[in-house]
Structure formats: structure tokens, C-alpha cells
């Protein structure tokens, strides 16, 4: 009971600090670079939150935060309180906007957005050099679609990122797009619509029964779990056990793949929450757990 009380108080204090910062009564940051462009598209902008004393450190870690929104909506503005919490622990935080997907515009796919993250991280590296922030490692984190992009980029680009990836953190993220993981959860039409949205394709429901090779390959290419290797970065992840958007089979796929590859990982179960993590009591406790582990990962893997 005492441990539960401590977690609730820790979460309350974190929310209080965020509120006080928002009205200017405390200043955990020495500045925020707003709408800093990392590409030519109007959506490719970021907010960079810098904690006090960052310039005096020989090295800094930065957490790149990716918003949720089921691939089609969302904004970096939703990440403000999370960024303020991160900088309160002395780490740089970056809230990223990215190009959104649309069923009527097949020119931008999920894999295009993953590739664009290289531009964003290179821009963070350039900004670090310009401002003498000494950022030498980065971590990626996000919920839902943001968590998907965080996992996908971290696993695909562990050897190619402009800044070394220290770890990745995700909550309620799709990570295995193969049909078997979704068939008892989504209708065939819902599944095909999701694959088409992410891949910019025009598959039909009949392609499932026909076992279309292109559909199978596309689902494999879109799945972060298929890029895991023994060289993959430590992973913190969470799922909601009453989620009606992402099947819990995705949790099983990710946990099994991490275990099979021998990758360090920690799992937080939101046993009473839905996709929006909306059960207030469960969410307070589990968010405190997740936040504590995120800070622990920062301390351990940023060095």
C-alpha cells in the first residue's frame, strides 16, 4: 500500500511541476526551440527542450518523442508535458511532427516517415554542434503510431542513425502487421484498410484468401519485429490489456522476438486500460512505473 501511495505522489508531483512550468513559476529549461524545421514539408518540424546546464555537460542524451494519432492525426503539441518531465531530470527532449498518412494520398507511406526520421536526427545532431550541446546519444519514444515509428526506426537503423540510438520506448504500438496477428481482432476489410494506409497500396479483401505474395511481403516489411537482431537496442514497452485498437498479440510478438534475440527489455502491463490508457487509477500507477523505467533507461544507457 505504501508503494502504491508513493507512485501516486510521484505522478502528482510530476504533473504539478509541469503545471508550474507552464505558468512560469518554475523554469526547468533554459529555452525551447519551437517549430525547428528538419525537412521541406510543412509537417517536418520539431520543438527542442533544453534543460538548464546542458551546455556545461561534456555529453548529453536526447529523447526524441513521436506523437500518437493512428497514423492520420496528432501533433507534437500533445507532448509538451512529457518533454517538461524529461528535462526536469536533466535530459534534452525533442517533440517531433511528422508527415501524416491518408487513404487518399498514397505518396507518403509509413516507411517514408521512418526514413524521414534520419533527417530529423541529423538535424538534432547539427543543432547540437551549433549550440554546443554535446548530444552524443539519442533515444526514441512514442505511443501508438509514434511508438510504431520509434520501434521501426530503432530496429531498422541501429547501424545507420546519425546519432547512436541508446534505447527505444513505446506504448500500445502496432509492431507485427502480419495477418495472423489481426485476423481475430479486425475484420478483413479493416485489416486491408490499415495495410493500404501504411503501405500506400490498393490491396483488396480477396487478396487475403488468395494469400497474395505481395500482401504477405508488405506486412512483413511493415513489421518492426522482423527487424530485430541480437544487435538491437534495449526496449521498454507497454500494452493495454483491454485495447480495442491494437491486438494484444502484438505484445506477444514483440516480447517473443526480444527474448529470442536476447535483447534487454522491460514490459509494463496496463491491465485495466484501453488504447487511450484511460482507466485513471490503473493509468496513474502504470504511467508512474513507465516513467520511472524511462528515467532509469536514460541514466543507464545515456551514460
Per-residue pLDDT of the chain (303 residues; tens, 9 = 90+): 444 434 443 444 444 444 444 444 444 455 789 999 999 999 999 999 999 999 999 999 999 999 999 999 999 999 999 999 999 999 999 999 999 999 999 999 999 999 999 999 999 999 999 999 999 999 999 999 999 999 999 999 999 999 999 999 999 999 999 999 999 999 999 999 999 999 999 999 999 999 999 999 999 999 999 999 999 999 999 999 999 999 999 999 999 999 999 999 999 999 988 998 865 444 555 667 888 899 999 999 998
Distance of CA 68 to CAs 72, 213, 294, Å? 9, 30, 18
Locate 105 and state its grid cell. 494520398
Domain with CATH 3.40.50.1820 in the chain: 2-176+230-302
Residue partners of 51: CB distance under 8 A and separation at least 6: 28, 29, 30, 87, 88, 89, 90, 91, 92
pLDDT value for 214: 98
Residue pair 153/114 in contact (Cβ under 8 Å)? The answer is: yes
Strand order in the sheet with 29-37: 29-37, 45-51, 92-96, 60-66, 135-143, 165-171, 235-240, 265-270
Residue pair 154/165 in contact (Cβ under 8 Å)? The answer is: yes
CATH code 3.40.50.1820 for 2-176+230-302: yes
Residue pair 248/238 in contact (Cβ under 8 Å)? The answer is: no
Amino acid at each position: 500500500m505504501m508503494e502504491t501511495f508513493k507512485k501516486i505522489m510521484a505522478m502528482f508531483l510530476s504533473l504539478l511541476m509541469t503545471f508550474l512550468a507552464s505558468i512560469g513559476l518554475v523554469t526547468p529549461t533554459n529555452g525551447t526551440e519551437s517549430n525547428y524545421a528538419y525537412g521541406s514539408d510543412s509537417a517536418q518540424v520539431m520543438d527542442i527542450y533544453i534543460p538548464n546546464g546542458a551546455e556545461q555537460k561534456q555529453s548529453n542524451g536526447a529523447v526524441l518523442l513521436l506523437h500518437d494519432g493512428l497514423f492520420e492525426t496528432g501533433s507534437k503539441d500533445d507532448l509538451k508535458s512529457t518533454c517538461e518531465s524529461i528535462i526536469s531530470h536533466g535530459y534534452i527532449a525533442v517533440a517531433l511532427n511528422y508527415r501524416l498518412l491518408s487513404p487518399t494520398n498514397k505518396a507518403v507511406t509509413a516507411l517514408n516517415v521512418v526514413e524521414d526520421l534520419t533527417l530529423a536526427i541529423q538535424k538534432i545532431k547539427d543543432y547540437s554542434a551549433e549550440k554546443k550541446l554535446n548530444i552524443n546519444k539519442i533515444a526514441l519514444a512514442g505511443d501508438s503510431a509514434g511508438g510504431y515509428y520509434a520501434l521501426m526506426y530503432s530496429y531498422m537503423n541501429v547501424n545507420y542513425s546519425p546519432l547512436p540510438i541508446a534505447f527505444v520506448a513505446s506504448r500500445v504500438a502496432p509492431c507485427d502487421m502480419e495477418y495472423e496477428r489481426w485476423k481475430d481482432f479486425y475484420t478483413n476489410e479493416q485489416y486491408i484498410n490499415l495495410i493500404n494506409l501504411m503501405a500506400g497500396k490498393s490491396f483488396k479483401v480477396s487478396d487475403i484468401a488468395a494469400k497474395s505474395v505481395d500482401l504477405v511481403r508488405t506486412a512483413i516489411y511493415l513489421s518492426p519485429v522482423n527487424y530485430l537482431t541480437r544487435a538491437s537496442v534495449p526496449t521498454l514497452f507497454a500494452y493495454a490489456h483491454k485495447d480495442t485498437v491494437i491486438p494484444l498479440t502484438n505484445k506477444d510478438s514483440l516480447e517473443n522476438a526480444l527474448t529470442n534475440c536476447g535483447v534487454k527489455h522491460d514490459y509494463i502491463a496496463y491491465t485495466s486500460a484501453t488504447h487511450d490508457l484511460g482507466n485513471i487509477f490503473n493509468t496513474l500507477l502504470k504511467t508512474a512505473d513507465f516513467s520511472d523505467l524511462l528515467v532509469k533507461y536514460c541514466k543507464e544507457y545515456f551514460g
